[in-house]
Amino acid sequence: MAEVVHLRGVVVLDDEREVRECWAVGGLLTFERPAAAADAVLEGWVLPGLVDVHCHVGLGPAGVVDVDTAQAQAIADRDAGTLLIRDAGSPTDTRWIHERADLPDLIRAGHHLARPKRYLRHFARELDDVAWLPEAVAEEAAYGDGWVKVVADWIDRSEGATADLRPLWPDHLLADAVARAHAAGARVTAHTFAHEAIPGLLAAGVDCLEHGTGLDAAQIEEVARRGIPVTPTMLQLAEFEAIAAQATKYPVYAAHMRRMYARRYSHVRDLYDAGVRLLVGTDAGGTIPHGMLPAEVAEIVRAGVPARDAVAAASWRTREYLGRPGIEEGASADVVVYAADPREDVAVLAHPSAVVLRGAIVAQSR
């Protein structure tokens, strides 16, 4: 590990501020030139480490993965510049990642909570009785790192040919559950595709929405007014057509998914235009590979969000939202270096020239 890394060029602190240089000394950032000569010099556009807020470390297409695979997932994210992860639920205990200086900073949401047959099999902690939700949320709040993830809606196949997305939980239990999380100092984020689940989530005081494809115009306004962020997960929404194609026994549901697929870009643009805080999440770990954050940012830009806002959401703005510093005096030296300015062209994000985690150069292109 290089003890002193000189970072220079354009060091982006936030939306307003840039400086010409800073240093990583003993793993921490400083703006004061150190007495010792630099062991390494990295030049270019230097950004605070990227953030993936919907990333399942420890989850694969068939459910839980082994430790080696989880490690490979975290490294794939890291090497793509993702140095802070808020996971969106994991079926396995990944607390060991906290001890690993070479892996991204991980904010766990515990096990995500669902019901039997009302979510992807082997992904979530499934509650046989909806009445257990508040207690389960309290348990996950104690086990996680300040976040709890609840699956709020999914197809109810028991309805047969008319099956569609339906809420998993009665509104009053959802409200009790969110209150339990808040009492424990945790925030709640909810998986939601469906319009029908949104009123219950808003009434419950949910803190954050994942996917959010069911939000209508009035709900978008309310979400904006209340400052509830939405993680669009464009890479996941791109799967909706394939999900619909497989749902041959459920034509109502398939048509619903296709409508949301068709309007996915304009929907995200509507969220942006309404002033909703957008977070960047890949939904990696189920069917989507890890290390895809640059592709997710590119999709958000394709939806019409300005590159500067998409990059800010993928970096300093969401670090702040999650309570983690960006490039500040004394902060952990977690930065990504690019050969060009990703705020001008987000395609640059796919090719970091160097990734620095806790002061160590963990990835570098030659």
Nearest to Zn ion of 52, 156 (CB atom): 52
Window contacting Zn ion (CB under 5 A); options: 160-168, 173-181, 275-283, 303-311: 275-283
Nearest to Zn ion of 124, 327 (CB atom): 124
What is the C-alpha separation between 82 and 174, in angstroms, rounded? 32
Nearest to Zn ion of 4, 257 (CB atom): 257
Structure tokens at 244: 């619909």
DSSP 277: P
The neighbour count for residue 133, using CB atoms within 10 Å, is 22
Query: Residue 172: CA atoms inside 13 Å, Cβ hemisphere, count?
Result: 1
Alpha-carbon distances, residue 251 vs 12, 219, 248, 256 (angstroms)? 49, 26, 6, 8
Nearest to Zn ion of 283, 296 (CB atom): 283
Query: CB of residue 140 vs Zn ion: minimum separation in angstroms?
Result: 15
Nearest to Zn ion of 102, 239 (CB atom): 239
Query: CB of residue 233 vs Zn ion: minimum separation in angstroms?
Result: 7
Query: CB of residue 88 vs Zn ion: minimum separation in angstroms?
Result: 5
Nearest to Zn ion of 52, 176 (CB atom): 52
Q: 335 forms bridges with which residues in the sheet?
A: 48, 356
Q: 23 forms bridges with which residues in the sheet?
A: 6, 30
Which residue from 148, 54, 63, 138 is spatially nearest to 110, judged by alpha carbons? 148
Find the binding residues for Zn ion in span 15-54 (CB under 5 A). none
Nearest to Zn ion of 140, 283 (CB atom): 283
* Residue 86 contacts residue 120 (beta carbons within 8 Å): no
Query: CB of residue 55 vs Zn ion: minimum separation in angstroms?
Result: 8
Find the binding residues for Zn ion in span 131-150 (CB under 5 A). none
H or E segment and range at residue 74: helix 67-79
Query: CB of residue 115 vs Zn ion: minimum separation in angstroms?
Result: 16
* Interface mask toward Zn ion for 201-240; x: CB under 5 A: ----------------------------------------
Query: CB of residue 38 vs Zn ion: minimum separation in angstroms?
Result: 40
Alpha-carbon distances, residue 156 vs 136, 164, 333 (angstroms)? 22, 6, 47
Q: Is 32 exposed, middle or buried (0-12, 13-18, 19+ CB in 10 A)?
A: exposed
DSSP 254: H
Query: CB of residue 316 vs Zn ion: minimum separation in angstroms?
Result: 24
* Interface mask toward Zn ion for 68-107; x: CB under 5 A: --------------------x-------------------
Structure tokens at 232: 């669009």
- Angle at alpha carbon of residue 292, lines to 287 and 296, rounded to 5°: 100
Q: How many residues bind Zn ion (CB under 5 A)?
A: 2
Query: CB of residue 147 vs Zn ion: minimum separation in angstroms?
Result: 13
Token pair 């794939």 is at which residue?
76
* Interface mask toward Zn ion for 276-315; x: CB under 5 A: -------x--------------------------------
Nearest to Zn ion of 207, 283 (CB atom): 283
Please state the three-class secondary structure of 292-324 as a single string: CHHHHHHHHHHCCCCHHHHHHHCCHHHHHHCCC
H or E segment and range at residue 199: helix 198-204
Nearest to Zn ion of 282, 353 (CB atom): 282
Query: CB of residue 356 vs Zn ion: minimum separation in angstroms?
Result: 28
Residue ranges in contact with Zn ion by CB under 5 A: 88, 283
